[in-house]
Structure formats: C-alpha cells, structure tokens
A and B are shown apart, each in its own frame.
Chain A
Amino acid sequence: MQRTAIILLFGFIIAWTGTIVHAQAQNPGAADDTLISPARQALAKDGLVRGLDLDASVVIDTFYYHDDSEEGFAHVKEEISGFGHSHGAGDDDHHHAEVENGFNLRHIELGLSAAVDPYFRAYTTLAFEDGNTEIEEAVIQTSSLPFALTLSGGKFFSGIGRINRQHSHEWDFFDQPLVYELLFGPHGLQEKGVQLTWLAPTPFYLLFGAEAFNGDNEKMFQSVEADELPEKDGPRLYTGFLKAGPDLGDRHAAQVGLSFAYGRHQEAHDGNADGADDHWLDGESTLWGVDAVYKYNAKRPHGQGDVVIQAEYFNRLKDLQVEQHDLIPAFTGRDREDHQDGYYIQALYGFAPRWRAGARWEQVGLINDVELPNLTEENFDPSSRAAFMIDWKLSEFSALRAQAARGEYETEEGDETVWEYILQWQVTFGKHAAHAF
C-alpha cells in the first residue's frame, strides 16, 4: 500500500509539473537580429519577465459634511422603523468614527497586493482611523485552478450585490445607499470565510459564486455569546450569487446579478433599559437581491458623454424565536419575524471631460412588516432619499465631489426630513491596481 501511495504521489507531481510549459526561445527563421535595439537584445532571447513588485496604495478621503437634523443624521438612521439594530446592554456600540457636522477624515485605506507564487495571489486592505485599525480585507486567492475556478479565503466583502465589494473610494457617490447601511451596517456584508467562483463556458459572461462565512454581521447574521442562547459553530452563513453580462457590442455594456444569503442569527435585547439583557432570540435570516448596471461608452476622452445606470434591490426576512424572555416569560417560544426590503437606482453622466453629474433615488421599507411575540403585527412606512452629486476627476488619482441629499425618514420618534450637504476631496497614491467593471 505504501509503495502504491508513493508511485501515485510521484505520478501526481510529474503530471502537475508537466502542465507548466517551459518556453525555450527558438528563432525558427534564423532571421537577422541586427535591427533590434541593442539594449533589448539581452532580453530578446527570453521574453518571459515576471513582475516582482508589491503594489501598495493609499487613499486619503477628507470631506466637509453638514446635515440639518437636530440629533444628527447618524442618529436618525439608527431609529428608522423596522431597521433598528439589536445591541445587547453590554455591547460596546462599535461605530465608525461618527460623521460630524464640519470637517471629517474618512479612514485611511492602505491597500497591498502582489502575486505570491505561481499558485496564489494575495491582497489586504487596512483601514486606519483615530484610535482604531481595522482589517477591511485580507484575502488569499488561487490563480491557477483548472475549470475557470477561483477560490478565495480570508476576510473579505461578500460578492453579493454590486456595491458590497466596493471600497468607499470606489463609490460613485459620497456614501453607500441606505439599503446597504440599514441591512448590513456601515461595512456591508464583510465576513471571514471562503468563496468559490466559476466562470461558465458560455459565449457571454456568466459567473457563479458561493460563499461560506462565519456569520458576524450584527444586523442580520450574527452569533451572540450568552448562556441563554445555543451555540453553533461557524460557518453559519452561506451565500450564492450569479452575475451575467450579455454582449451588447461596441459602446454598450451591462451586467445583471442575483444574490442569495442564508444564515443563523441571534439577538439579545435589553427591554427595560436597566443595563442587562433580558430577552434573547435565535433563528435565521434569509436575504435575496437583484442588481443591474448598464454602461454606455461614448468613446470620447475622459468619459465625456458616458452614461452609467445602476440599481439594486434587497429583500430580507429575519425569522427568530424567543429563546428566553425574562420580562414576559409567556413570550418564550414565540416567533418574531422582521420582513423588510429596500432599493436604489442611480444614474451618472459625463457632461464634460473629467466631469460627471449623478442622481440617486432610494427607498427602504416598501415592505416593512414586523410580527411580534405578542401576536400582533406592525407595519411601517417606507423612508426615501434623493441625492444629486457632481464630481471632477482631475486625474485618475484625485477627485473633488459636491453632493446634496434630501430624505424623508419614518423613525420611531416620528417623521423627519433631513438635508445633507457634502464637499469631498479624495486622492489615491502609490501603485494602484485597476478597478473592475
């Protein structure tokens, strides 16, 4: 048996190395090389040059912000009916440094990437802000799997939706849409786990993806440590998505996506605000979404005449059971269901070389139903926001943006209308890799 194993192992090694083609530079025509530039003749015999750099880039994003809400727009967002997050009493409210009226600095992004070896590449994005450093992404990715597969592992943004995997400096607007922040939190769906994607052998672009994550999302897919709640090992969250890009010819490009996520979810609440949790819920969340983008390339310099139209819709159901209720023991074992949705649609137009204007309309809570353990149902109205922005890309590396937005929000403290005004100044420096479609 051992001998068979050794023979098989050798066979595997030989077969694997056999797939690596060795290039021997041969000059079949015995041509006269004397026209070739002498500095390059040394390289002429071996055309294979591997890059050995580490790509490192930094993003600095500073902005002036003003909103006319009394308690601040960040507070309003937390109170939007149907989307309130669940923090236990003891939880430290971890927020990004809150945006304040005045000058702000978004977290500094340091991105590092390189090819590791012929089998893997890796990249990481670190976010620095005062008093806090976060690993936004740290990914190891295969580069030579057969059958057009790619496996990624580490901590990263899920491939669901379209904006989810974009860093803040790639956004077309100053901020992410409401539906993202309310369903996933300020980081989007960002998890530790693995992702497998497959590029299908179709004449048009068709990508399938599946992910397995621990489940650390405080809005929809979290695991709470409490004696009152059952423990479940990760992975607790699974997603699937597909993206299709039909061939529309020269000037037009489009991509459509479908996303699905399912995972365990637990919540702990402090019902009587006495500093200790008193009821615990356990169950699952299900999410599905659809996204689409259309791009028109006018073929003029610096994006003049280009059009981009993009929209996403998400629908989520949190299906929980009261595991234990200290205040009202009768609720133990009862269900609590939260069903909400949200969408945005945005359009961008390059009205002059390097200049773009954009408009975005979004709504959350068109479906906004809560079934409570007291056997009643609550239904809330939607909230909406319209935003308009102009940005000026002085080069591929620097941009100025002005944005104004007006939203009407249905909150637990009543209706509120909020205006926001932003001036943003953003640069990236270092060797920055190109962005995806």
Chain B
Amino acid sequence: MQIFLSALMLGCVLLFGLPADGLAADGGRPLILTTTTDLADITRAIVGDRAEVASIADGKEDPHFLTARPGYIVKARDADAWVRVGLELEIGWEGPILRDSRNPKIQEGAPGHIDASADVWVLDIPRRPVTRDMGDVHPHGNPHYWLDPLNGRIAARTIATRLAMLFPDHAATFEANLRGFEKQLDEAMFGPAPVARHGGQRLWKLLLEEQPLPADPAPQGWYGLLAPYRGRAIVTYHRSWIYLAHRFGLTIPVELEPKPGIPPGAKHLAAVIETVRAEKARVILQEPFYSRKAADLVAGNTDAAVVVCPNTVHGSPEVSSYLQLIDRVVQRLAQAMAPTR
C-alpha cells in the first residue's frame, strides 16, 4: 500500500510538474501564429529571422468569416505565441482553434496570447447597448484599426513588447527591429527628410494633437499625398475604412451597406447616389472580395470612380507587406481624387 501511494504521488508530480506545453516547435526557433496576414507582416518585421511567423488567414478572404479547419488546429498546437487583431474580429472562429489545439501557451489570458488591439486608437465605440438588429456591429469598437498607419505602429510596439517578454534572449534584437520598422513607417508617412529633421515620434504627436506640422522641410509621403484632399468625402462598401479616413482627414458620409453585413438594396443605393452628389464624393472604395455591382451602379450615376483595394496583406498580388498595403490605397485615393482625373 505504501509503495502504491508513493508511486501514485510520484506519478502526480511527474504528470503535473512537467511543462504542459506539448512538443517543441521546429528546431529551436519559436513559432508565432497570427490571425491575419497584416499582423504576420508586422510580426515578421519585428522578429526578423529569430522566429518563424505564419498566419491563419491568407489575406484573400474577409477576415470576419473564416471556417475552422483541421490544418489550423495543427498550426496552433505547435505555436509558441498567438497574435490576434482583437475587438472581436476573430470571434467567429478563434475559440474552437485555441481550444482544440490543446496548447496552454496560447489560450486567452496566457502570456503567449497577444491581443494587438491593446493600445490602439479605437473608433466607432458604441454609445448604447449593441443589439443584433444593428447588423454586424462590434460592441468594443470597429476592428479594422490596422488601416490607420499610426495604429499599425502602435500594434507593432505592443507585439514587440510582449514577444521580448516571452523570449528575453531576443529582446534586444526585437527592440532594434521595432525601431527600424517604426522608422520605415514614419518615413513612408511623412517623407524621409522631415523624419530625419524632426523625428517620427514628434511628427505623429503633432498630428494627434491636430497641430500643424512643421513646414521645413514640407511633409511628403502619404501625408503629403493626401494633404490637398483633407475634408473631402469618400464612400465605401463596408464600414472598414474609417480608420484610414480619420487619419488622413477624409469623411465617409455613407456606406453601400445599409447596415454592416447587410447587402445593398435598390432603395438604399438611391439614397447613396444622392449623398454622393451632395457631398461631391469622388471615390467609392471597396475590397476585391465584394461584388462590384452596387459600386458600379453608383459610379454610373455620379462623378465618383470605383477604387478597389485590399484591406489585408496578400488581398491582391501587389500588396505583400503592411507598408505596401497602406501605400497602395493612399496612392490610388490620391490618383482618384486628383482634379485632372
């Protein structure tokens, strides 16, 4: 009896005392799994070659609606960290993948579960209780925040900070890579000369406080490209571009969807056409995975042009990085709003 009890207790110590993290990832390099391709690109910029980064979504479909597949469970099983957009973007599919992966490192609440929305500026936070008759409304705010380059910068810092805590051996490398990414982003946003002169951090702070940016040297980059069009109106298919509009001073008076997730109907499109004319909107912006029928109808009845841009990395062949994602839509918007178009 004594031997049995000792063996049982030893068994308990071994079973529960062992690290409950299953099997190690490939040959020593940590595996970081992100939910979207945008987060994967940002995370890759931070980790460099110190970790393997993979994305669950492939960027070609609407990130709201992913169907859970066995392949995702296997990836999640082997992951050392999980990065998600948050604000309930992934609520339709994240739960079963995390649960069936049996990987305690990446469960919600574990340090390996990283919510990239932790520090970002959130728009569309509902001021009253959300009910489902409002359509597909997210109760914590609009989750498409990565389309504001400032939020991309902030999310990168959130991810880097947590990864440095999880993998302290690489903390210095992650910090250096993060600074490099921030510099690239700042230069794309304001132009290399203003960043060299004033520093990206200061320029962003001025922008946030709605102060005028220094004129010497004059800001170029994305800011410079869209500066002439501040105050202009654009129309979008889904309410997914508000962060981009907010950052660059554009307004979005109406969407083609009458409510989020509800397809456009004839009556609503008639109202959209009126609004486009009244607000002199010149652009109808939508993602490639939506049908163009409604946008083409509105464009045919107004001066607006249809601009199709992906809102995720790899949503179209030319967009293979986060900076390219923002760059593409900014360039296309500037082209479409130019007076000589």
Contacts and interface: CB of A to CB of B under 8 A. Distances in A.
Interface of A: 1, 4-5, 8-9, 11-12, 15-16, 18-19, 21, 23-29, 31-32, 34-37, 39-41, 43-44, 47-51, 121, 143-150, 199, 201-205, 243, 245, 247-248, 250, 253, 255, 295, 297, 299-302, 353, 395-397, 429, 433-437
Contacts of A253: 67, 69-71
A27 B161 contact: yes
A32 B85 CA distance: 23
A203 B70 CA distance: 11
Contacts of A435: 68, 96
11 contacts: A1-B2, A18-B17, A29-B164, A35-B150, A40-B118, A149-B102, A150-B102, A245-B69, A250-B58, A295-B69, A396-B92
Most B C-beta atoms less than 10 A away, residue of A199, A250, A429: A199
A49 B6 CA distance: 39
B118 A433 contact: no
10 interchain residue pairs of minimum CB distance: A245-B70, A15-B17, A205-B70, A146-B20, A23-B111, A253-B69, A29-B175, A299-B61, A148-B102, A36-B119
A28 B109 contact: no
Contacts of A12: 9, 12-13, 16-17
A148 B121 CA distance: 38
Interface of B: 2, 5-6, 9-10, 12-13, 15-23, 58, 60-62, 65, 67-71, 73-74, 77, 91-96, 99-104, 107-111, 114-115, 118-122, 132, 136, 150, 153-154, 157-158, 160-162, 164-165, 171-172, 175, 178-179, 201, 204-205, 208, 261, 263, 289-291
B77 A433 contact: no
A28 B164 contact: yes
B157 A436 contact: no
B23 A47 contact: no
Given A12-B9, A301-B290, A434 B77 contact: no
Nearest to A121: B99
Nearest to A437: B68
B81 to A, nearest CB: 12
A18 B16 CA distance: 10
Contacts of B119: 36-37, 40-41, 44
A297 B61 contact: yes
A434 B99 CA distance: 11
Contact of A297 (B19, B67, B165): B67
A145 B161 contact: no
Nearest to B158: A47
Contacts of A50: 108-109
Given A19-B20, A37-B119, A205 B73 contact: yes
Given A11-B13, A433-B95, A143 B107 contact: yes
Contacts of B16: 12, 15-16, 19, 146
A145 B291 CA distance: 46
Contacts of A18: 17
Contacts of A121: 99
A39 B119 CA distance: 9
Given A8-B9, A353-B263, A146 B22 contact: yes
A28 B175 contact: yes
Nearest to A149: B102
A255 B70 contact: yes
A300 B291 CA distance: 9
A250 B17 CA distance: 39
A43 B118 CA distance: 7
B204 A35 contact: yes
